[in-house]
C-alpha cells in the first residue's frame, strides 16, 4: 500500500476554497512566471504530510490561507489530511485532521477540518497507510537512539526543492540539515528492502543475550575467585573497618563477610569536606545514587516481566492441552442435534445422565482457541519488553562501573588514601567500591543454575547469528544498490550527461553518485555544469523509485520537483525568455525520462513539477494542470489578495 496526491486545497479566513487537482498516475506540470506561488506548493505538501516546520515563504500565501489540506489516493480509498496554518508569529502547529473519504466526494468545507490527531499520531497513521511496518532502524555508531522509520523519512526520496534539485553538494531532500545525512543512511536499507522489521529486533536481542552472557561469565569467575581466595572481600572489609564504617565481625565466613559489606554499602557517609576536585567527586556520587535507584527499579520491572512471561507460558501450555482434548472430540464429527443430550451420540442408546452437547463442546473449543490466540499475541510484546529491560540493566551496570572508575581516578589523582585528613571521602570511595563488588557477585543467588543459563545463552546466540547472517544482509544491500545504479546509468546515458556512458553508482556512505571512468572516479561535486547536477539528481530519484515500485516498497508513489529548468535560465532571466534549441532539447529529454517512469512504474507513479519553462512539446502541454502566466493567475486567487489590500483580511 502506498499513496499519491489527488488534490491540494487552500482555505481562506472566510472558508473559501482554492483547489489544485492532480492526476495520480502521470506527470502533472504547474508552469508560471516568478512570484506566483509555485514553490509554496512543495512546502504545503510537506507541511500537510507532517513536517514539524512551517516553511511557506512570507507573502500572499501566509497572509491569506488559514487551512491546508491534501486528498491522498491509496489502495484502500481516499484519505484527507488537513492542517491549520500557525497563528501569527507561530512556527508550526501540533494538531492535524486525518480521515477517510468516499472517492469522488465533494471537497469538505473548512468546518469539517477540525483537528482529531496530534502530529505524531497523524504521522504514524500516514506511515501505516503508506505501508511502513512497525520497525526499528539500526543506528550506525551508537551515537543516537534507534528510531522508527516513518513517512517523514520516506519523503527524503520524494521531494526536491528549488535549492536542492541541482545542488552538487547534496542529493536528497533536507540532506544539508544537521544530523540528516546519517538518518538517510540509516533508513535507506529499510526502504530498499534489504532488511526487514524483524531483523532489527533480532539484532537487538542478540546484543542483549551477548551482554547477559558476558555478565554471567564474569560473575561466575568472580564467584570462583571469591571461593578460592577471598582476598578482595577481605581487603574491602579491612578498609571499611579502618575508617569506622563497620565493626570487625566475629564470623568471618563468606556469607558473614558479604552481609557485613552490604552494611557498608548501605551506610550513610557524611558530606565530604571541600578538597581539590571535590565537586567532581560529589557529582559522580550523586550520579551513582541515581543510577543505583534506576538499577533497582529496572531489576524489579524485569522480575515482574519474567513472571508474566512464565505465567503466559504456563497458561498457554494448559490451554493447549485443553484445546487438544476438545479437538480430539471434534474429530468424531458428532452430529449436533440428532440425539440431544440424553442419548449416546455414537450408538443412540439412552443415557442415565445427560451429557454435554456437541455445540457446547464446539463453543468451548473455540473459546480456548481464542484464549490461546490472545496469549500468542501478548507473548512477543512481553519478550520484547524483557529484552529491553535486560539491555537497560546491562547499560546501567556498565554506567555504574564507569562511574566507579571515575571515582577511583579522582581518588588516585589526589592521593585520596594518603593525603586527606578527613575520612569522609575515604568512606565514600570505599562504599562505592564495595557496592560495585557486591553488584558483581550478588545476583548469582537469583539463579542457582548459572552454568545452565550460560549454555542456554550460547546456544541462543549461535542460533541468532545464523538467523541474522549479517554478511548476507550486506550482500542484499549491495545487490539493491547495484540494481538502482544500473537504472541511474541508463538515465544518465539517455540524458547524455558528462562522462556518459561510464557506469554510475549510488554511494550510500557519501550520499552522492560516483561516475567511474577510465581516468578515475568522480563524485557529483567534482563534476561541472548545473545541467549535469540536475541530470544526476533526476537519474538517482528515477533509479530509486523504479526499485521501490518494482519491489512494492513502502515509499509514496510520487515525486515533487521544483524548477528543474532553472539550470537553463540565467539568474536575471525575464518572464517570457525562451530556451535555445540545445537547452530545449536537453530539458525535453529530462521530461521524457519522467514520462517514462510514470509509464513503466509498477502500480503507476505520479510526478508533480513546479516549472518556469513552458515547452511547446505535445506531451508537456498535455501534462500542464495549471498555467499561471496572465495577470491574476497564481496559486492565491486575486480576490483574496484584494481583500488584503482593502484591509478586510483582519
CA 375 to chain centre: 27
What local confidence, expressed as pLDDT, does residue 341 receive? 56
Predicted TM-score (pTM) of the model is: 0.63
What distance, in Å, lies between the first and last C-alpha atoms of the chain? 43
**What does the alpha-carbon distance between residue 439 and residue 602 come to, in Å, rounded to a whole number?**
58
Is it the case that residue 274 has pLDDT exceeding 60?
A: no
Q: Count CB neighbours of 63 within 10 A.
A: 16
Is it the case that residue 514 has pLDDT exceeding 50?
A: yes
Mean pLDDT for the chain overall: 83
Q: Count CB neighbours of 120 within 10 A.
A: 12
Is it the case that residue 132 has pLDDT exceeding 60?
A: yes
Could you list the beta-strand ranges (E) of 107-181: 117-118, 159-160
Q: Identify the residue with better confidence: 213 or 489.
A: 489
Q: Which residues contact 371 (CB under 8 A, 6 or more apart)?
A: 315, 319
Give the pLDDT band of residue 527 (cuts 50, 70, 90): very high
**What does the alpha-carbon distance between residue 619 and residue 403 come to, in Å, rounded to a whole number?**
68
In this structure, are residues 73 and 24 in contact, taking their beta carbons and an 8 Å threshold? yes
Query: Once rounded to an integer, what is the mean pLDDT over residues 603-616?
Result: 94
Nine cell digits for residue 494:
539517455
Q: Count CB neighbours of 272 within 10 A.
A: 19
Q: Which of 232, 236, 234, 265 is nearest to 252 (CA)?
A: 234
What local confidence, expressed as pLDDT, does residue 228 receive? 47
pLDDT of 367-424, one tens digit each?
655 655 554 556 677 778 878 888 888 888 888 888 888 888 777 766 644 555 566 7
Among 273-277, 327-331, 575-579, 618-622, the range of highest mean pLDDT: 618-622
Give the pLDDT band of residue 650 (cuts 50, 70, 90): very low
Query: Once rounded to an integer, what is the mean pLDDT over residues 288-295?
Result: 88
What are the start-end ranges of the H helices in 469-580?
470-494, 530-550
In this structure, are residues 27 and 623 in contact, taking their beta carbons and an 8 Å threshold? yes
Is it the case that residue 229 has pLDDT exceeding 50?
A: no
What are the start-end ranges of the H helices in 345-449?
358-413, 416-419, 424-441
Portion of the chain with pLDDT greater than 70, in percent? 77
Query: Once rounded to an integer, what is the mean pLDDT over residues 455-459?
Result: 88
27-32 and 624-628: which strand pairing?
parallel
Q: Which range (102-111, 255-264, 267-276, 297-306) has the least confidence?
A: 267-276
What local confidence, expressed as pLDDT, does residue 590 receive? 96
**What does the alpha-carbon distance between residue 324 and residue 318 come to, in Å, rounded to a whole number?**
10
Residue 263 class from Cβ within 10 Å (0-12 exposed, 13-18 middle, 19+ buried)?
middle
**What does the alpha-carbon distance between residue 254 and residue 389 come to, in Å, rounded to a whole number?**
31
Q: Count CB neighbours of 573 within 10 A.
A: 15
Query: Once rounded to an integer, what is the mean pLDDT over residues 612-625?
Result: 94
What local confidence, expressed as pLDDT, does residue 510 receive? 96
What local confidence, expressed as pLDDT, does residue 337 receive? 47
Nine cell digits for residue 321:
492441552
In this structure, are residues 84 and 95 in contact, taking their beta carbons and an 8 Å threshold? yes
What local confidence, expressed as pLDDT, does residue 389 receive? 83
Give the pLDDT band of residue 192 (cuts 50, 70, 90): very high
**What does the alpha-carbon distance between residue 129 and residue 557 come to, in Å, rounded to a whole number?**
12
Q: Which residues contact 238 (CB under 8 A, 6 or more apart)?
A: none
Instruction: Taking the CA atoms of 330, 334, 340 and 342 in sequence, report the sign of the dihedral they define.
Output: negative
Is it the case that residue 298 has pLDDT exceeding 60?
A: yes
Look at the domain 277-422 and name its fold.
Helix Hairpins (1.10.287)
Nine cell digits for residue 316:
498457554
H or E segment at 646? none
Give the pLDDT band of residue 531 (cuts 50, 70, 90): very high
Amino acid at each position: 500500500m502506498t499513496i499519491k496526491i489527488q488534490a491540494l486545497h487552500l482555505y481562506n479566513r472566510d472558508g473559501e476554497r482554492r483547489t489544485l487537482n492532480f492526476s495520480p498516475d502521470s506527470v502533472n506540470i504547474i508552469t508560471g512566471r516568478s512570484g506566483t506561488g509555485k514553490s509554496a506548493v512543495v512546502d504545503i505538501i510537506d507541511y500537510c504530510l507532517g513536517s514539524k516546520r512551517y516553511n511557506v515563504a512570507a507573502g500572499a500565501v501566509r497572509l491569506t490561507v488559514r487551512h491546508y489540506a491534501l486528498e491522498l489516493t491509496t489502495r484502500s480509498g481516499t484519505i484527507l489530511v488537513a492542517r491549520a496554518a500557525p497563528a501569527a508569529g507561530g512556527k508550526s502547529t501540533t494538531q492535524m485532521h486525518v480521515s477517510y473519504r468516499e472517492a469522488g466526494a465533494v471537497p469538505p468545507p473548512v468546518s469539517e477540518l477540525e483537528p482529531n490527531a496530534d502530529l505524531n499520531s497523524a504521522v504514524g497513521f500516514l506511515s501505516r497507510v503508506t505501508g511502513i511496518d512497525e520497525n526499528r532502524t539500526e543506528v550506525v555508531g551508537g551515537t543516537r537512539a534507534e528510531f522508527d522509520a516513518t513517512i517523514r523519512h520516506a519523503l527524503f526520496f520524494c521531494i526536491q526543492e528549488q535549492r536542492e534539485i541541482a545542488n552538487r553538494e547534496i542529493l536528497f531532500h533536507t540532506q544539508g540539515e544537521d544530523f540528516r545525512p546519517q538518518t538517510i543512511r540509516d533508513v535507506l536499507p529499510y526502504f530498499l528492502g534489504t532488511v526487514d522489521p524483524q531483523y532489527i529486533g533480532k539484532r537487538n536481542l542478540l546484543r542483549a543475550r551477548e551482554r547477559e552472557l558476558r555478565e554471567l561469565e564474569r560473575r561466575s569467575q568472580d564467584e570462583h575467585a571469591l571461593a578460592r581466595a577471598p582476598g578482595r572481600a577481605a581487603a574491602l572489609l579491612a578498609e571499611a573497618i579502618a575508617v569506622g564504617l563497620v565493626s570487625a565481625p566475629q564470623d568471618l565466613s563468606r556469607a558473614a563477610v558479604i552481609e557485613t559489606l552490604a552494611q557498608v554499602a548501605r551506610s550513610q557517609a557524611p558530606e565530604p569536606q571541600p578538597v581539590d576536585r571535590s565537586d567532581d567527586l560529589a557529582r559522580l556520587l550523586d550520579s551513582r545514587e541515581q543510577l543505583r535507584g534506576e538499577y533497582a527499579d529496572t531489576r524489579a520491572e524485569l522480575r515482574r516481566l519474567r513472571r508474566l512471561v512464565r505465567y503466559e507460558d504456563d497458561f498457554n501450555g494448559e490451554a493447549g492441552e485443553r484445546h487438544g482434548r476438545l479437538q480430539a472430540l471434534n474429530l468424531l464429527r458428532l452430529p449436533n442435534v440428532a440425539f440431544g443430550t440424553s442419548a449416546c451420540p455414537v450408538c443412540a442408546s439412552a443415557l442415565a445422565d445427560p451429557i454435554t452437547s456437541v455445540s457446547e463442546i464446539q463453543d468451548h473449543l473455540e473459546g480456548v482457541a481464542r484464549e490461546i490466540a490472545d496469549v500468542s499475541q501478548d507473548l512477543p510484546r512481553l519478550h520484547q519488553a524483557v529484552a529491553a529491560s535486560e539491555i537497560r540493566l546491562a547499560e546501567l551496570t556498565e554506567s555504574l562501573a564507569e562511574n566507579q572508575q571515575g571515582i577511583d581516578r579522582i581518588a588516585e589523582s589526589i592521593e585520596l588514601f594518603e593525603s586527606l585528613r578527613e575520612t569522609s571521602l575515604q568512606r565514600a570511595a570505599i562504599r562505592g567500591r564495595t557496592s560495585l563488588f557486591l553488584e558483581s557477585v550478588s545476583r548469582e543467588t537469583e539463579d542457582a543454575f548459572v552454568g545452565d543459563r550460560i549454555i542456554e545463552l550460547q546456544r541462543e546466540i549461535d542460533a541468532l547469528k545464523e538467523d541474522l547472517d549479517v554478511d548476507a544482509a550486506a550482500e542484499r544491500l549491495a545487490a539493491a544498490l547495484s540494481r538502482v545504479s544500473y537504472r541511474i546509468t541508463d538515465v544518465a546515458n539517455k540524458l547524455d550527461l558528462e562522462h556518459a556512458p561510464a557506469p554510475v553508482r549510488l554511494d550510500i556512505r557519501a550520499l552522492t553518485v560516483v561516475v567511474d571512468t577510465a581516468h578515475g572516479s568522480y563524485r557529483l561535486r567534482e563534476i561541472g555544469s548545473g545541467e549535469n547536477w540536475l541530470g544526476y539528481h533526476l537519474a538517482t530519484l528515477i533509479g530509486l523509485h523504479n526499485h521501490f515500485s518494482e519491489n512494492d516498497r513502502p515509499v509514496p508513489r510520487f515525486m515533487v520537483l521544483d524548477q528543474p529548468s532553472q539550470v537553463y535560465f540565467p539568474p536575471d532571466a525575464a518572464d517570457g525568455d525562451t530556451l535555445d534549441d540545445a537547452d530545449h532539447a536537453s530539458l525535453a529529454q529530462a521530461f521524457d525520462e519522467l514520462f517514462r517512469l510514470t509509464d513503466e512504474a509498477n502500480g503507476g507513479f505520479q510526478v508533480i513539477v513546479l516549472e518556469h519553462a513552458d515547452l511547446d512539446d505535445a506531451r508537456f502541454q498535455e501534462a500542464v494542470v495549471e498555467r499561471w502566466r496572465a495577470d491574476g493567475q497564481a496559486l492565491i486567487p486575486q480576490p483574496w489578495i484584494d481583500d488584503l489590500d482593502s484591509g478586510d483580511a483582519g
